Amino acid sequence: MQLLGRRWAVAALAGTLAAGGTAAALAPAGWAAHPAPTASPSASPSASPSASGSGGTSALGFDPDDTGAPQAITRIVGAQQAWTQGWTGRGVDVAVIDTGVAPVPGLDAPGQVITGPDLSFDSPDAPTPGLDAYGHGTFMAGLIAGRDAGATGGGACPRCLTSSPFSDVDRYVGVAPEARVIDVKVGAADGAADVTQVIAAIDWTVQHAHDPGFNIKVISLSYGTDSVQQYDRDPLAQAAEQAWKHGVAVVAAAGNDGRGPGKVADPAYDPYLIAVGADDPMATLAVGDDRVPDWAQHGTRTRPVDVVAPGAHVIGLSVPGGWIDTQAGNTGRLGTRFQRGSGTSQATAVVAGAVALLAQKYPTATPDTLKALLTATARPMAKVKNNDNTTELYAGSGLIDVGAALSATPVPGTQTWDASTGSGSLDKSRAKEYVTDGTTDLRGEQDIFGRPFDTAAMAALQAQGRAWTGGLWNSSRWTGDGWSSSRWTSSRWTGADWAGTAWTSSRWTGMTWDSSRWTGSGWGSSRWTSSRWTGANWSTAAWS
């Protein structure tokens, strides 16, 4: 029941937010002075490009106006407006570094998901590399680029919200329905992952972003640690920052530790990246009443989140029989296909899809420019305070509006934050969360194979884009050497792990892990039953 940890607990909801207040859009010190992109006067980045479609329950089993529904989220963030203009993510690849992707309906179209290397602990015995047995990565992939069969059909669409066939309320469709997902699996069937696996996955993505037939412009990373060192020394932040500097925009979850100290998770705390906090639509499509949930990390004055996106009670694709689906405390199942989840994970996936839409329209834009577009056009949100009502924190530039971003004129921007050296401690990246084989914890400056990890040497290789040599990383073989058709060649691990124990699958069933590192704050969520989230707020009847 690892998932039912501290982040599952119901936090007391803050009593007040300054109603109607606005947070100034942040002008981070690291941005070189550039004029903000100018929104076209003719653009109308309103929340709802069309009236509500159907009312009541769709064929999917939920109300498309339920603000956890993809049809609502894509309206709130302006994606539906983008689709009508042809911006669907086509031609853009999004690397989902997560627990794998299962080919459930919505993600099972030919070519929709490309399986990259499986770097997870499942790999030595995985019958199907890249498969998601946990249920997190599939949820994220669906939010980013899910697309039910038939959603592309032409002709009349009486149940469409707009002129785009992707707006059919009876189909599950993510933010960038024609983007392609590159599944880079690092989390095992129980969610376990070491930080070295995530670093390796980021490095792999950078090196293969432009392999023939590929165009990886975005990494969606709903993973974070409570690193105890500054970003400019941290090896995980270094890997992510190097991805950014090699042209891959890294969208990273801020974490779900709520309003406590406020620091965003590693690697989102690296200011080059897009750090994503969460928005709660408060059960209305209009955005004026939106709030930042108590569980969402906001960041600090020096490193706030960059933007927020809907992340409360989000309806995603489920992996039936997967880890999340089968948890006893899972009250978020919605029929057989769907699962509700809340967290900055979900918000991150939404933003990753939005960045894919921007990358389609502006194929030569740098991540800095895409970030500037997204932040400059976000809708400011009210300032929020700590639970003790003393410390002001921020929603960054606010709630993303990709419709407005696509209507704005991009102005090349350059971030000038202190660059990461990545020469700090690997173990400080892990902080207090790490994997164990039941006997020996994976600690210290070593990877999952027990190879010494020289952070400075690795940082130098990353800067040169050559951390990987074929399927070798940090002197061990992690995977195959290249593509086999549309799938990365897998290669079973041999030898021993960090504790000198042979790699066998059975051992991993005893591994322990704090699943909360995947920054979903709760699957199904006990918040449903807390005072604020009574059934009356969220039942279908309330929407009718």
First to last CA, the chain: 36
Shortest Å distance, C-beta 543 to Ca ion:
13
Give the integer Cα–Cα distance in Å for 263 and 257: 9
Q: In the set 168, 203, 232, 290, which binds Ca ion (CB under 5 A)?
A: 290
Shortest Å distance, C-beta 503 to Ca ion:
49
Shortest Å distance, C-beta 384 to Ca ion:
15
Give the active site residue among 132, 136, 183, 401: 136
Choose between 100 and 281: whose C-beta lies nearer to Ca ion: 281
Check binding of 398 to Ca ion (CB under 5 A): no
Q: In the set 10, 228, 282, 419, which binds Ca ion (CB under 5 A)?
A: 282
Shortest Å distance, C-beta 159 to Ca ion:
23
Q: Which one of the spans 159-167, 273-281, 440-448, 450-458 is the region binding Ca ion (CB under 5 A)?
A: 273-281
Give the active site residue among 345, 397, 429, 491: 345
For residue 267, the one-letter residue type is P
Check binding of 52 to Ca ion (CB under 5 A): no
Identify the bridge partners of residue 115 per DSSP, sorted by sequence position: 183, 487
Check binding of 17 to Ca ion (CB under 5 A): no
Choose between 23 and 218: whose C-beta lies nearer to Ca ion: 23
Choose between 289 and 481: whose C-beta lies nearer to Ca ion: 289
Nearest C-alpha neighbor of 189 from the set 4, 380, 355, 322: 322
**543: how many CB neighbours lie within 10 A of its CB?**
20
Say how many residues touch Ca ion, by CB under 5 A: 5
Place of tokens 């529904």: 69
Question: What is the x/- site pattern for Ca ion, positions 491-520, by CB under 5 A?
Answer: ------------------------------
**436: how many CB neighbours lie within 10 A of its CB?**
15
CA distances from 128 to 101, 125, 198, 487, 488 (A): 11, 9, 20, 11, 12
Check binding of 207 to Ca ion (CB under 5 A): no
Shortest Å distance, C-beta 281 to Ca ion:
4
Q: Which one of the spans 280-288, 307-315, 361-369, 454-462 is the region binding Ca ion (CB under 5 A)?
A: 280-288
Check binding of 46 to Ca ion (CB under 5 A): no
Q: Is residue 407 among the annotated active site residues?
A: no
Q: Which one of the spans 240-248, 281-289, 354-362, 367-375 is the region binding Ca ion (CB under 5 A)?
A: 281-289
Shortest Å distance, C-beta 70 to Ca ion:
16
For residue 7, what are the contacts with CB-CB under 8 A and spacing of at least 6? 256, 257, 295, 516, 521, 522
Give the active site residue among 63, 66, 93, 98: 98
Q: In the set 226, 289, 433, 454, which binds Ca ion (CB under 5 A)?
A: 289
For residue 541, what are the contacts with CB-CB under 8 A and spacing of at least 6? none
CA distances from 471 to 208, 313, 476, 480, 521 (A): 12, 39, 8, 5, 34
Give the integer Cα–Cα distance in Å for 342 and 224: 16
Kind plus residue range of the DSSP H or E element containing 98:
strand 93-98
Choose between 185 and 379: whose C-beta lies nearer to Ca ion: 379
Choose between 46 and 284: whose C-beta lies nearer to Ca ion: 284
Give the integer Cα–Cα distance in Å for 527 and 341: 11
Check binding of 279 to Ca ion (CB under 5 A): no
Name the DSSP letter for residue 247.
T
Q: Is residue 98 among the annotated active site residues?
A: yes
Q: Which one of the spans 34-42, 245-253, 278-286, 432-440 is the region binding Ca ion (CB under 5 A)?
A: 278-286
Q: Which one of the spans 115-123, 289-297, 352-360, 366-374 is the region binding Ca ion (CB under 5 A)?
A: 289-297
Check binding of 281 to Ca ion (CB under 5 A): yes
Check binding of 284 to Ca ion (CB under 5 A): yes
Choose between 67 and 366: whose C-beta lies nearer to Ca ion: 67
| Alpha-helical regions (H) of 384-433 | 402-407, 426-430
Choose between 281 and 480: whose C-beta lies nearer to Ca ion: 281
Question: Dihedral of CA 544/160/164/97: which sign?
Answer: positive
**495: how many CB neighbours lie within 10 A of its CB?**
11
Q: Which one of the spans 108-116, 135-143, 173-181, 286-294 is the region binding Ca ion (CB under 5 A)?
A: 286-294
Identify the bridge partners of residue 220 per DSSP, sorted by sequence position: 96, 251
- Contact between residue 93 and residue 216 where contact means Cβ atoms under 8 Å apart: yes
Identify the bridge partners of residue 339 per DSSP, sorted by sequence position: 316, 333
For residue 174, what are the contacts with CB-CB under 8 A and spacing of at least 6? 70, 74, 141, 142, 143, 144, 145, 146, 147, 349, 353
Check binding of 424 to Ca ion (CB under 5 A): no
Check binding of 310 to Ca ion (CB under 5 A): no
Check binding of 457 to Ca ion (CB under 5 A): no
Choose between 289 and 325: whose C-beta lies nearer to Ca ion: 289
Q: Which one of the spans 279-287, 304-312, 401-409, 522-530 is the region binding Ca ion (CB under 5 A)?
A: 279-287
Strands (E), 249-382: 249-253, 274-279, 307-310, 314-317, 333-334, 338-343
- Taking CB atoms, the residue at the shortest distance from Ca ion is 284
Shortest Å distance, C-beta 284 to Ca ion:
4
Choose between 319 and 402: whose C-beta lies nearer to Ca ion: 402
Shortest Å distance, C-beta 288 to Ca ion:
7
Burial classification of residue 461, based on how many CB atoms lie within 10 Å of its CB (0-12 exposed, 13-18 middle, 19 or more buried): middle
Q: Is residue 345 among the annotated active site residues?
A: yes
Shortest Å distance, C-beta 540 to Ca ion:
18
The alpha-carbon radius of gyration of the chain (Å, integer) is: 21
Choose between 322 and 403: whose C-beta lies nearer to Ca ion: 403
For residue 224, what are the contacts with CB-CB under 8 A and spacing of at least 6? 252, 253, 254, 255, 264, 265, 266, 267, 268, 517, 519
Shortest Å distance, C-beta 291 to Ca ion:
9
Residues annotated as catalytic are 98, 136, 345
In the complex, the residues that contact Ca ion under the rule CB under 5 A are 281-282, 284, 289-290
